[in-house]
Amino acid sequence: MRSARSGTGDSARAACRPRPSASTRHFSNASQFAKMDSPVFLPPRPSPAASITMPKHSALPATEHRRATVHAFLACLAGAAMFAASAADAVELHVMNSGGFTAAYQRLAPKFTAATGDTLEITYGPSMGETPQAIPNRLARGEPADVVIMVGYALDRLIAEGKVRADSRVELADSRIGAVVRAGAPVPKVDTPAALKAALLAAPSVAYSDSASGVYIERELFDKLGIAAQLRPKAVKVPRVPVASKVADGSYALGFQQVAELLPVPGVTFAGRIPESLQSVTRYAGGIPVGARHPEQARKLLDYLASPAARAEVAATGLDPVPAH
C-alpha cells in the first residue's frame, strides 16, 4: 500500500500539478538541460481551486507608445535634416591675421567653428612692411581672403585703396607695448619714463618689431626719451618672427613688441608694459576684402570676435577689449 501511495498516488498528484515550461524550469547544472533531446513546452493546467484572473490591458498605452515612437522617429529625421542642411551651408573662410591678435584668435576660432560649422583657413603676416608675408602684399598677389585682422590704420589704407569694403570695418581690441628679457636674466623696471630710459641704456642690445609697435619705437619713443643717438648702434628691427623668440635664443638682451605678441613666447620673462605716458596704443580691427567669397559668414566671424562673449578671452591674451560698436 505504501508503495502504491508513494508510486501511483504520487504520480497521480504530480499529474494534477501544473508543469513549468522547459524555459522556466530550474536545473542544478547545465548538463541536465543539455540531456533533454526534445524539451516539451506545456502550459500549466488550470486549477479549479485557484482561478487566476488576468488583468485586461487597455489598448491606449500601446497606442500612445506607438505614437511616441513615431514622434521620436520624426524628430530624429528632422534633426538629421537640420544637421545635413547645416553641413551643406558650412563654408571655409580664409582669414589673414596680424600677429597682435593671434593669441586671441587662436582662443576664439574653435568656438566659432563649433557654433557655426564653418572652417577657418588662417594665414599670418604683419599688418605692414616689405616682407612677402605682410597682409597688404598677400592681397596684392591675389591670395584669397574673406577676413583680414590687422592694425587699424593699416586697414584704413586698404579701405582707401579699395581693397577692403569700407562698411565692413569692425573694431576688435587695443594693444599696448611691453618688454621682455631672456628667462633667468635680471628683470629691469620699465614702468616709468626714468626706469625705461635706464633699462634701454643698460641693455647691451635691443630688439623691436617691424610692425606698428616697432615703427613707433624707432621713430618716436627713442626721441621722446632723448637717447636716440645712444641706441642707434645697438637697437635692431626684427622682421618676420616674434621679437621675444630672438630674445629667448640670446640674440638680444631686451625686446619690445605688442604685449599680446610677447606673452605666448616661451623662454622669456615679461618685464611689463612701458609707461602709459609713452605708450602707443594700437587698435586692431577687422574687415572684409573686396571680392571675398563668403562675405555674410565673414561678417558673422567679425561680429563674434568683437562680441561681449569674446572679451574675456581677448583680455586674457594681453589685449584690451573695446566697447562693441
User: What pLDDT, in 10s, does the model give residues 120-162?
Assistant: 999 999 898 888 999 999 999 999 999 999 999 999 999 999 9
Cα within 13 Å of Cα(21), Cβ side: 6
Give the residue-averaged pLDDT of 71-79: 49
CA-derived radius of gyration, the chain: 39
d(CA 8, CA 197): 119
Give per-residue pLDDT as tens, 7-22.
Answer: 444 444 444 444 444 3
CA distances from 260 to 7, 54, 237, 255 (A): 98, 77, 18, 13
Q: Which contiguous run of DSSP H or E holds residue 14?
A: helix 10-16
Q: What is the mean pLDDT of the chain?
A: 81
- CA-closest candidate to residue 137, choices 147, 126, 146: 126
pLDDT, position 103? 93
pLDDT, position 45? 46
Highest mean pLDDT among 35-49, 87-101, 109-123: 109-123
- Ranking 148-152, 210-214, 249-253 by mean pLDDT, the lowest is 210-214
DSSP symbol at 133: T
pLDDT, position 9? 42
Give the residue-averaged pLDDT of 77-98: 67
Rounded to the nearest 5 degrees, what angle is found at the Cα of 172, between the Cα atoms of 166 and 177?
120
d(CA 262, CA 249): 14
- CA-closest candidate to residue 276, choices 187, 141, 177, 188: 177
Give the residue-averaged pLDDT of 66-81: 51
Q: Which domains does the chain possess? A: 87-174+282-321 (3.40.190.10), 177-278 (3.40.190.10)
Cross-strand pairs, 273: 178
pLDDT, position 129? 84
Give the residue-averaged pLDDT of 195-209: 98
Q: Which contiguous run of DSSP H or E holds residue 320?
A: strand 320-321
d(CA 131, CA 209): 13
CB 171, CB 281: distance < 8 Å? no
Give per-residue pLDDT as tens, 18-69.
Answer: 444 433 333 334 333 333 333 333 344 444 444 333 344 444 455 555 555 5
- CA-closest candidate to residue 148, choices 102, 221, 186, 98: 98
Only one residue has cell 488550470, namely 46
Rounded to the nearest 5 degrees, what angle is found at the Cα of 267, between the Cα atoms of 264 and 273?
55
